[in-house]
Every structure is written in C-alpha cells, then in structure tokens.
Amino acid sequence: MSLLSRRKVLTASAVLGAHLAGPARIASSAQPDEQVDLTNITRGWETVTGQWAVEDVPGASRNGRALVQRAVNNEFNVIVAPGGPYTDVDVSVRFKPMSGREDASGGIVFRFSEGRYYVVRANALEDNFRLYYYDRGRFMLASAPVTAPKLGEWHTLRVTANKDGLRGWLNDGALINHRDGRFAAGRVGLWTKADSVTAFDSLTVRPKSSG
C-alpha cells in the first residue's frame, strides 16, 4: 500500500468521461483511501449539473490532463466526487479559470447531501473570496477581500470543516474562519457558476472522520 493510502488521503486528479444531459451517476463509489488514476474513467462520481470532461490542459499535474467544466447556461455547475459522506474533512484542489464573461470561478463543494451543500469559491472577475451554503438557493455566509485570481493561471483552494468550524484558503492564504452547523456531513465535489469554463486538478480529500 502506498504512503498516501496508509494516510487515507484521496488524491483525485479528477477524471470524468463525456457528460450526458441531466444528472448522471457513475456506479461504484471510491473508498477514502483509493487514489484515483487520471488516465481511467473515475467510478463513483456524480454529475449534478454541468458538462464535465477530461481534457489536455497546460500545467496540469498528471500528464497534462485535468477535469474541465464547459457548460455556460446553468446557474451553477456541480460534480460530486467518490467517497464519503464526511463529517470533518480537509479538502484542497488546484483550479484554472479559463474563460467567462459573467463569471470565471472555481469552488470546492463539501457536506453535499440531497442537493444541499457548502461551497467556498474564488472568481477571476471579482476581488472577493466567499463561503456560501446552498439549499434551494445560494446564500452567503462569509466573504474576504482578495486580489482576483488571474485568468489562465493555476490557483489553489482549500477548505476545512471541523464540526461547525469552516475555514477557507486561497493560494495558501487563510481568509475565512466562520461557524455554521446547518449541514453536519456529506460528500465533496467541485463547482463553477454560470459561463465559467474552469479546469480542476489535484483534488485531495483528507477525512478526519466519516459520516
């Protein structure tokens, strides 16, 4: 067993095949200690909304391949990763905002359950870093001023959830420290808004406990 497996770290340099219209679940969930191979179709992913596929993206960490979201007509685009549900968890991902006129964002979804979730996101068109919850609508919980992440460059998002303590980082800068306990456990995923075309790479999930 690899060192990462022994530490029960799920590293997902995210992989998904062609998206069919509407929600789609690929059967067989990955376990928290499974390292997902970028070169294979990843089992256990669930497309909630969006058009997600693996593409060649300059700067991606595994053979130049990354997961890209290309739908431009949805309010939000969400894909949920294998594994979980998690209660307390530490999640990080690299993202590259590639284009967007209305929005050019990337986010981490956590504690996703029955369509409800938290999301921490950054936007290349806005100078803020925000934490929201979604429950039949999106509601802001916390915001921090930042220099907008640049289009066409890789950036790093990180979030930790420890009971009702929710913390967020952008490019290793700790920016959000907020308390909210409405969602106790759920799965992890990725998020974009509106016409954002965004690449994701090196998704890492470190569960502190499983729900």
Question: Per residue in 6-23, pLDDT tens?
Answer: 344 444 444 433 333 334
Of residues 88, 79, 148, the one with CA closest to residue 108: 79
CB atoms within 10 A of CB 52: 26
pLDDT of residue 62: 81
- The number of CA neighbours under 13 Å toward the Cβ of 98 is 20
Q: What is the mean pLDDT of residues 142-166?
A: 97
Q: What is the mean pLDDT of residues 53-72?
A: 92
Kindly tell me if the per-residue pLDDT of 1 is higher than 50.
no
Entry pTM: 0.83
How far apart CA 149 and CA 169 sit, in angstroms, is 13
How far apart CA 27 and CA 34 sit, in angstroms, is 15
Kindly tell me if the per-residue pLDDT of 31 is higher than 50.
no
What is the CA 147 to chain-centroid distance, rounded?
21
Q: What is the DSSP letter of 84?
A: -
Kindly tell me if the per-residue pLDDT of 200 is higher than 70.
yes
pLDDT of residue 20: 31
